[in-house]
Amino acid sequence: MLEIGGLDAGYGRLTVLHDVAFRIGDGEIVALVGANGAGKTTLVRALCGLIAPTAGRIIKDAFDVTRVPTHERMRTGIAVVLENRRLWGELTVRENLRLAEVNARQGGKVNFTLADVTRLFPIIAERQSSAVELLSGGEQQMVAIARALLMQPDLLIMDEPSTGLAPKIVKEILGVIRGLRDRGISLLLVEQNVGIASEIADRGYVMALGRIVHEIVPGGWQSFLSDERMVKAYLGD
C-alpha cells in the first residue's frame, strides 16, 4: 500500500525527519506513536506533500508520489485528516463534504457515498446546513473524517484524531475507524496517546527526535506497554 524509505524532511534549513522508513500493508491499521515534538506531524505533512522531502521516496501502490503535488497525490488514493482538522469553518457541513465529492479519486476500488458517511456519522445529516465552525470539536472531527472518506481513499492517514476530544467521542470515532478496514481501507494512525493506538492498531512504530526508534510487531502492544524502559523512553516516567 505505502512504502517510505530514507525520508528526510523539514522546514527551511531545519531538518526534522531523519532517514524515516516504514511500510503499511493492504488492509493494515498501523499506528505511529511518539511524544510531542517527535516529528509525527512533520511526517504526515511530508506524506501529503505539504512539505517537500529533501531525500527519500514515498511509494504508493508501486507508484512514486514523492514529487507529486498534494492535490494530485490525493487522487492516488491517499486521504488525510490533518491535525486540527483543517475544515472550512465558514462553509456548511454539506459544502465541506461536497468539495471532497467533486475532487475525489475516480475509479478507485473504494466507493463511499454521502449516504454511507451519514450512516457512519448521523450527525452529518442533522447539521448539514450549519457552518462547521458552530459544531463541537467532536462533531467537527466526524465531518473531517467524512470529508476524507469521500475522497475515496484506500489509505487514510489520521493525525491525532483524539486531540482535545472527550473519551466518549474518542471511543465512538475509534469504533468507526476500526470498521473502515472492512471497506478496504488501510489506516495510518498518528497518535500521542499509546493507549488509544494500542486499542485499534495491528502494528506500530515509535518515533522520537525525527527518527523511527522502535517497531511494534502484531500482538506486541502489550509487551511494549508493560516494558517500563520503553514507556519511560516515551512517557519519560
Partner 1 sequence: MTAPALDVRGIGHAFGGLTVLTNVSFEVPAGRIVGLIGPNGSGKSTLFNILNGFLVPQSGSVMMAGNDTRAMSVEARSRVGMVRTFQTPRVFEHLSVQDNIMVGACKLTRSGALSNMLSLPRARRDLALMREVAEAVIERFGLQRLREVPAAKLTSGQRRMLELARAYAGKPQLLLLDEPSSGLNTAEVEALGKWLQTFNDEGMTLLLVSHDMQLMNIASVVNVLYFGEIIASGPMAEMQRNPRVREVYLGM
Partner 2 sequence: MFSSLVVQAILSGVTNGVIYALIGMGIAVIYKGSGVINAAQGEFSLIGAVVAVFAMKAAGFSYPIAFIAGAVFGILLGIVVDVVLVRPMVRRKADEDAFLLLTIGIAFAISAGVLFFAGRDYFTLPSIGSDGVAIVFDATIRYHAIWVIVACAAIVAALRFFYRKTSFGLAMMAASIDADGAATTGINVAAMRTATYGMGGLLGALAGLLVAPIVPISYYMGLVLTLKGFCAAMIGGLTNPMGAIVGGIILGLVESLAIVFIASAYKDVVAFSVLLVIMILVPQGILGRRGRKGG
Residue 38: CB atoms within 10 Å? 22
The minimum distance between CB 48 and partner 2, in angstroms, equals: 5
Q: How far is residue 87's CA from residue 226's CA, in Å, rounded to a whole number?
A: 38
Strand-strand pairing, 29-34 and 186-191: parallel
CA distance 165 to 192: 13
- For partner 2, the closer CB: 70 or 111: 70
Q: Which is nearer to partner 2, 50 or 123 (CB)?
A: 50
Amino acid making up residue 108: G
Q: What, of partner 1, partner 2, none, does residue 21 touch, CB below 5 to 8 Å by kind?
A: none
Strand 211-216 and strand 203-208: pairing? antiparallel
Q: State which residue, 52 or 134, has the beta carbon closest to partner 1.
A: 134
- Residue 175: exposed, middle, or buried by beta-carbon count in 10 A (0-12, 13-18, 19+)? exposed
Contact partner, 49, from partner 1, partner 2, none, Cβ < 5-8 Å per class: partner 2
Q: Least Å distance between CB 11 and partner 2?
A: 11
For partner 2, the binding residues (CB under 8 A) are: 48-50, 69-72, 74-75, 79-80, 82, 85-91, 95, 98-100, 102-105, 133, 147-148, 151
Alpha-carbon distance of 89 to 133, in angstroms, equals 4
Neighbours of 107 (CB within 10 A): 7
* Footprint on this chain of partner 1 (rule: CB under 8 A): 13-14, 35-37, 133-134, 136-137, 160, 163-167, 192-196, 209, 225, 235-237
Which partner from the list partner 1, partner 2, none does 99 bind, CB cut-off 5 to 8 Å by kind? partner 2
Nearest distance from C-beta of residue 216 to partner 2, angstroms: 27
Q: Which does 201 bind (CB under 5 to 8 A by kind): partner 1, partner 2, none?
A: none
> What is the number of other CB atoms lying within 10 angstroms of the CB of residue 33?
26
CB nearer to partner 1: pick between 33 and 110: 33
Contacts of 219 by beta carbon, 8 Å cutoff, 6+ apart:
none
195 binds, among partner 2, partner 1, none (CB under 5 to 8 A by kind): partner 1
Q: Smallest gap, in angstroms, from Cβ of residue 118 to partner 1?
A: 24
| Crossing angle (nearest 10°) for helices 137-149 and 93-102 | 20
Q: Shortest gap between Cβ of 84 and partner 2 (angstroms)?
A: 9
Q: In Å, what is the CA distance from 137 to each residue of 49, 86, 95, 154, 163?
A: 26, 12, 18, 26, 9
Nearer to partner 1, 107 or 236 (CB): 236
Query: Would you say 41 or 198 has its CB closer to partner 2?
Result: 41
Minimum distance between the CB of residue 149 and partner 1, rounded to whole angstroms? 23
